[in-house]
Structure 1
Amino acid sequence: MTMATPGAGLRTRREAHGATALHGRRRWRPSPYVVFGGLFWIVMSLAFWRVPMCCDFGQHAAVVERLKDNLLHPRHPMADLPGAGSPYYSPYAVAQGVFAKATGLAGWEVVKLAGLLNLIVLLTGLGRFVRVLTPRQWAPVLALFAMVVLWGTRMAWWSGYLGLMSMTGNLAYPSTFAIGLAFWAWGWAGALAKSREPRSPWAYAGLGALCGVILLVHPISSVAAVIGVVAFAASARRPLPGLWKWAVTAVTAAVIAASWPYYSVFSLVGDESVDWIHRQLYTEMPQRFWLALLGLPALALRCRKNPRDPLVLMFALDCAVVAYGWFSGHYTYGRILGLTLVPLQFALAIELAAPRPWRRWRTALAGVAATGAAVGFFTLQAGAVVPRALDPVGFDQPPRWPGYGWAVSRMDRGDVVLTDGYYPTRSVPAYGANLVAPAWPDTSLDEDTRNHRLQEVRDYLAPDSSRAERERIVRRYDVRWLLLTPDQKVPREAVVVAWGPRTGEVLARVSGGDTRVGGRDTKQ
């Protein structure tokens, strides 16, 4: 009989514990996507932060300002008009309004901070979506870089477009948040479609609730989000027997969307007020998107293996919606063009993330993709992340609009400004001021009324306008300020208060000729 050595069992347990601890540390080692995704978040956040307010940023900041003033019954985002029924008052915007009220931050500050949160939602959603398609560790990393670089060699700058350059401007928009949620919804739908065990109807209802929120946050992005969910449902192992559960998803989404009190999302169906703006989405499409077509061979291979592959179905349905937008004249549907590229970009990334040894054709595909990425980055996207001070080449940089702090600092909250300048009509409302004529259509304001107001602004600024006509317009809209370009004539009854340091624009006071602003005499 063998005697056990004293302490042997203890040493064995300690050794086992140490091995387990070492194994545990290896298990918790960050994945490549955590590392590169984190680095991307830092770099992109800095790139976004250095770009001043431009484009639609002022509109979204104005929405927060109106909610900050009255959370339950906000006014029109850009004019002193009722705002009931405006689709800008989404759950996303209301949450921003609550945050602004709680912190006292200005609307533009809240929107700026939201860009950092939106990027987190986008990156985590992308990782979840790719993981449901493949377990390959490097696939999310390659998908991220394909998504932000493989576009084209002509600028594609629009809300919902996720190229590096475009993201410096639209990272804080509701569209980016909605796309991040869409990635999460696709990951959720993919998990349900792949599940071998029956899943509770509550899981499908939860997915429906998420889709309903996406629909309210950004209705046009929700079209692509729903297409992705449909693609995964159609790719399920047994799609027909589980159809009733997917119906639970659809019903839940509809109920959530219909329950929102600020506006009716279903009233937007068939709305043509912004189609004219979106027609330009269909111009120069080959130049804007051709690099994404490098993913077509990878997508074709997935189609050959499985015609019901979710990326294949997603791409086909997205293309059908974009084509419908063109042929029907409802060009707003072209807004999903940015997400139409995702199946191409992600199929390429997943194929290139395959374990070695690579076949010869895959090596060739990797070489072409790397060349395309370099072309896309250095011809168009590099200026987004390379500051001018560190730029040895002279890359194109994001737009740098002039600021209007010099003007709004002299105004009281809610003052009405008459201007037809491109920059001020899109920026001044961000600080709490109102315009005579809003820059953008909004379902809360009849389009004929908006067009009439635009004509009134033109009439006021016309060189041959009479003083009586100008005073009528001032009284009708309670105008207190004029913001004029350097070549526009200042009316005799107006008092010049300040000049724009960068643009030379003129700020003049009207409404009775009061020349005192903030307790200071500004008469000149």
Structure 2
Amino acid sequence: MSGAGPGGALLTRRTVHGATALRGGPRRRPSPYLLFGGLFWLVMSLAFWRVPMCCDFGQHAAVVERLKENLLHPAHPMADLPGQGSPYYSPYAVAQGLFAKVTGLAGWEVVKLSGPLNLIVLLTGIGRFVRGLTDRQWAPVIALFAMVLLWGTRMAWWSGYLGLMSMTGNLGYPSTFAIGLAFWAWAWAGALARGGRRGPWPYAGLGALCGLVLLVHPISSVAAVIGVVAFAASGRRLWIWSATAVTALLVAACWPYYSVFALVGDASVDGIHRQLYTEMPQRFWLAALGVPALWLRLRRDRRDPLVIMFALDCAVVAYGWLSGHYTYGRILGLTLVPLQFALAIELAAPRPWGWRRGALAGAAALGACVGFCQIQAGAVVPRALDPVGFDQPPRWPDYTWATSHMRRGDVVLTDGYRPTRSVPGYGVNLVAPAWPDPSLAEKTREHRLSDVRSYLSPDSTRARRAAVVRRYHVRWLLLSPDQKVPGEAVVVDWGPHTGEVLARVNGGGGAGA
């Protein structure tokens, strides 16, 4: 008989005889998921820690830095501007900022520490969710490895994508925490759909959890709500689920830092997300191995929650493409979950297997090997131990060589792709933020970007540059090796690996690069 641990039947009861029975009867032993999930947690935590700050990491570290500086009224995450209305200031981020304030840790350190904690939420949520769908002990283990390996043979690296390679970069992000909570919400919804409880309060509790997911990562909440709807549609007494919806909306409406409802219809980041719809077959085709398993579930029950979840996810992704609101493509990673988990549950069935299930198992094993060797292996195989040269996670340069000269709140002018995404994570500000943010009008951000380009233009005059420096209180320039240092700037340091130039613009005499 299975015992329900916090991750979903983490311990199994085993009947024994003799001395053990005399000492108190049955004893418990770890379930397969506890053993393999624990090993996975250790390996992925180490893999996440070895990858330096890159991509969106600096943005999330900057959010923690601003909250550490002023928990109630944080500034804009990347610029010397007010931050009221920024969706980055979620309950998750506020908790991180409070932790940073209490401990004195830097923002990037808090984000690094968040990775293993987020992974615990994710792994326990997966265990709980799968155990709500089946009592087969190996199903959560197979589901976990299907989720991280069965993607495609083209890199799919994005926040909220849970392939091995992508997880090395995004474990510390709010999206991972939100997805972990989504699995818990689906497990809760499944229990309610099976009729285990009566009365509105459990449904209201589920609504509070959904409201939290909505605030932590609004786009992931779309997939989370779809999952809850799928379980509601698979059960009876649909009217009582209104308590879930009302509570979720109330929780979201009470958050003081930003209005999640103001994000509805916001198209400012749709252009950035258009690339999510490129090369989709190459990025996701291995997950299609779960189609036969999902088809079997449909034949057994036309109201199967995984089938409904997959259909609704596909509809939202299609809407994003057809409407031009490409941000909805962010749920593509979770759209694969019904396929991956249906396959896992089918393969966890006890033997003897028929030839169809055996063929499906062989195809899944081959697909996992292909996905691992083609894309995912470099996430967990360090270069020093790599016998064949697997692709490795990005290794961006460290900018402490530059930020060590700066004071908190200093303004830096740069147009480099990597520094604009990294240096704010050390507590300094940019003239022009790298990403759109509802707390800053997009026209204002575009004007600032134009001023940066004007300053760095070879045709810029000294008077024009001085006007930009005064307008934005610029103290530092961070330039690529091929950019000319203005005559009025003083070179302070050079990047040890990139050759980038750090110059001070209010330090007097001229200098050359």
When normalised by structure 1's length, the TM-score is: 0.93
1:202 partner letter? W
Larger displacement relative to structure 2 (146-155 or 352-361): 352-361
Q: Equivalent residues in 2 for 1:305-316 (5 A)? A: 305-316=300-311
The question of whether the paired residues in 1 share the 8 Å contact of 2:485 and 2:512 is answered with no
2:82 aligns to what?
82
Q: Structure 1 residue 19: deviation in Å? A: 1.4
Pick aligned residue for 1:509 from 479, 488, 504: 504
1:202 aligns to what?
201
2:324 aligns to what?
329
Deviations for 1:160-179, whole angstroms, at most 9, x for unmatched residues?
00000000001111000000
1:29 aligns to what?
29
The question of whether the paired residues in 2 share the 8 Å contact of 1:497 and 1:523 is answered with no
The question of whether the paired residues in 2 share the 8 Å contact of 1:59 and 1:427 is answered with yes
Deviations for 1:202-248, whole angstroms, at most 9, x for unmatched residues?
11111000000000000000000000000000111xx2xx2232000
| Residue 153, structure 1, aligned to residue 158, structure 2 | no
2:228 aligns to what?
229
Q: Structure 1 residue 200: deviation in Å? A: 2.8
Distance in structure 2 (CA, Å) of the matches to 1:62 and 1:463: 31
SS of residue in 2 equivalent to 1:497: strand
The question of whether the paired residues in 2 share the 8 Å contact of 1:130 and 1:140 is answered with yes
Deviations for 1:48-101, whole angstroms, at most 9, x for unmatched residues?
110000000000000000000000000000000000000000000000000000
- State percent identity of aligned pairs: 80
Query: Measured at CA, do residues 209 and 507 of structure 1 come closer, stay the same or move farther in structure 2, by a change above 3 Å?
Result: same
Q: Structure 1 residue 512: deviation in Å? A: 4.9
The question of whether the paired residues in 1 share the 8 Å contact of 2:477 and 2:504 is answered with yes
Distance in structure 2 (CA, Å) of the matches to 1:39 and 1:205: 35
The count of aligned residue pairs is: 497
RMSD: 1.4
Q: Structure 1 residue 511: deviation in Å? A: 2.2
Pick aligned residue for 2:446 from 446, 451, 462: 451
Query: Measured at CA, do residues 20 and 346 of structure 1 come closer, stay the same or move farther in structure 2, by a change above 3 Å?
Result: farther
The question of whether the paired residues in 1 share the 8 Å contact of 2:488 and 2:509 is answered with no
Query: Measured at CA, do residues 21 and 352 of structure 1 come closer, stay the same or move farther in structure 2, by a change above 3 Å?
Result: farther
Query: Measured at CA, do residues 154 and 100 of structure 1 come closer, stay the same or move farther in structure 2, by a change above 3 Å?
Result: same
SS of residue in 2 equivalent to 1:157: coil
Query: Measured at CA, do residues 189 and 21 of structure 1 come closer, stay the same or move farther in structure 2, by a change above 3 Å?
Result: farther
1:167 aligns to what?
167
1:270 aligns to what?
265
2:243 aligns to what?
248
Distance in structure 1 (CA, Å) of the matches to 2:249 and 2:23: 49
Distance in structure 1 (CA, Å) of the matches to 2:25 and 2:58: 51
2:14 aligns to what?
none
1:266 partner letter? F
SS of residue in 2 equivalent to 1:211: helix
SS of residue in 2 equivalent to 1:169: helix
2:42 aligns to what?
42
Q: Equivalent residues in 2 for 1:427-466 (5 A)? A: 427-466=422-461
In structure 2, runs of 5+ residues without a counterpart are: 1-16
2:242 partner letter? A
Superposed structure 1 runs of 4+ greater than 2 Å apart:
15-18, 20-24, 511-515
| Residue 351, structure 1, aligned to residue 353, structure 2 | no
- Name the larger-Rg structure: 1
Q: Structure 1 residue 358: deviation in Å? A: 0.8
2:290 partner letter? G
SS of residue in 1 equivalent to 2:29: coil
Pick aligned residue for 2:465 from 463, 470, 485: 470
Query: Measured at CA, do residues 53 and 102 of structure 1 come closer, stay the same or move farther in structure 2, by a change above 3 Å?
Result: same
Q: Structure 1 residue 16: deviation in Å? A: 8.3
1:185 aligns to what?
185
SS of residue in 2 equivalent to 1:207: helix
Distance in structure 2 (CA, Å) of the matches to 1:65 and 1:250: 34
SS of residue in 2 equivalent to 1:496: strand
The question of whether the paired residues in 1 share the 8 Å contact of 2:432 and 2:449 is answered with yes
Distance in structure 2 (CA, Å) of the matches to 1:189 and 1:390: 44
Q: Structure 1 residue 33: deviation in Å? A: 0.1
